Structure 1
Amino acid sequence: MKTININTTLYSFNSIDDLPVNIQNLMNQAIEIRSKAYAPYSNFQVGAAVLLKSGTVVLGSNQENAAYPSGLCAERTAVFSAGANYPNDEIVCICISASSTLKDTLQPIPPCGACRQSLLEYENRQKSNIPVYFMGKSGEVVQSPSIQNLLPFIFKEDSL
């Protein structure tokens, strides 16, 4: 047996105000689109804003369904829309904000595993890192310089 150590570096900002201005603007768009989430079952609203190299911003919010697996997370809604409508435009970064209508969500909430895998597909495809900024309703913001930091044992095309 051998030990495998995984090291990753994430960055923490006390609030949106501590982010670079362009990321503040993107996160504010994620917060705004979060209010348009369709989340009658979980009462958990998520907004995502994807910045493309061209400067285009693609937004997404979670969309639930009574048949739970049929819904889609905000991150995948946004990134799949970007991939469908701007297939040759590289993703520069993504900002995510999540909140509950039932309680305060003040801790940063990262993307779920399925979203991490989906985002990683785009990172691998464009052969460059996609920084991810995530937060709860308000407060601390965490930044990961790469999706791979959030999903260290990656499954990709050469795994097939």
Structure 2
Amino acid sequence: MNKKIEVTASLEVIAKNDWTVEEATLILKAKEILELAHAPYSKFLVGASLLLENGEIFSANNQENVSFPVGVCAERAVLSYVMGNFPNTKPIKIAIAAKRMGEKGYAYVTPCGMCRQMINEYEIKFGSSIEILMLNGQEEILKAKGIEHLLPFRFHNLNG
């Protein structure tokens, strides 16, 4: 007899007028930092801001390189910096905003596979979920309460 494994994933949609102060701050910082991205090839700017349990917020943007795929995503850039410098401070929330260079409106993006796996790594390390806030084109937040909602069959147990 074959078994079936099912996983349910969900995102919460939050209208701009319902954002908390914390959500608005994280999205604003992601929007600001994306303007400084180095994206001369794709012209696609991404910013990410990360809230730590101590209340500090750090931000980073995507950094492209002519030698694809040497560039780094905004999410991995901010996580690498923070976890390299504050390895014992738990990340609580990450916000992501993106847009095409020269355009006013924002694009809807989710973390790529490598970024999802990296978020997963720090959820494992700290034993708690990292909330993921993704800005869409209508300036709503799509909120995942943890990486399992974006990466349901994630690689997370080398022993099982």
Q: Same fold (TM over 0.5)?
A: yes
Q: Which residue of 2 aligns with 1:80?
A: 80
Which deviations, in whole Å up to 9, do the C-alpha atoms of 1:17-44 show, x marking residues without a partner? 3211111011100100010100000010
Q: Which residue of 2 aligns with 1:27?
A: 27
1:147 maps to 2:150:
no
- Runs of 4 or more consecutive aligned structure 1 residues displaced over 6 Å after TM superposition: none
Q: Which residue of 1 aligns with 2:11?
A: 10
* CA positional deviation for 1:91: 0.3
Q: Which residue of 2 aligns with 1:56?
A: 56
**Partner Cα separation in structure 2 for residue 37 and residue 157 of structure 1:** 34
**Partner Cα separation in structure 2 for residue 157 and residue 2 of structure 1:** 21
Q: Secondary structure at the match of 2:96?
A: strand
**Partner Cα separation in structure 2 for residue 51 and residue 20 of structure 1:** 14
**Aligned 8 A contact 1:14 1:140 in 2:** yes
**Partner Cα separation in structure 2 for residue 139 and residue 73 of structure 1:** 21
**Structure 1 residues 149 and 159: CA distance shift in structure 2, 3 A:** farther
Q: Which residue of 1 aligns with 2:38?
A: 38
* CA positional deviation for 1:159: 5.0
* CA positional deviation for 1:4: 2.8
Provide TM-score, normalisation by structure 1. Answer: 0.91
**Structure 1 residues 70 and 14: CA distance shift in structure 2, 3 A:** same
Q: Secondary structure at the match of 2:149?
A: helix
**Aligned 8 A contact 2:96 2:133 in 1:** yes
Which deviations, in whole Å up to 9, do the C-alpha atoms of 1:99-147 show, x marking residues without a partner? 1126676553111111000111011110000000001465221000001
Q: Secondary structure at the match of 1:142?
A: strand
Give the letter aligned to residue 9 of structure 1: S
Point out the structure with the larger helix share: 1
Q: Paired residues, what number? A: 159
Give the letter aligned to residue 129 of structure 2: N
Q: Percent identity?
A: 35
Give the letter aligned to residue 11 of structure 1: E
**Partner Cα separation in structure 2 for residue 132 and residue 138 of structure 1:** 17
Give the letter aligned to residue 93 of structure 2: C
**Structure 1: gaps of 5 or more residues:** none
Q: Which residue of 2 aligns with 1:116?
A: 116
**Partner Cα separation in structure 1 for residue 12 and residue 120 of structure 2:** 19
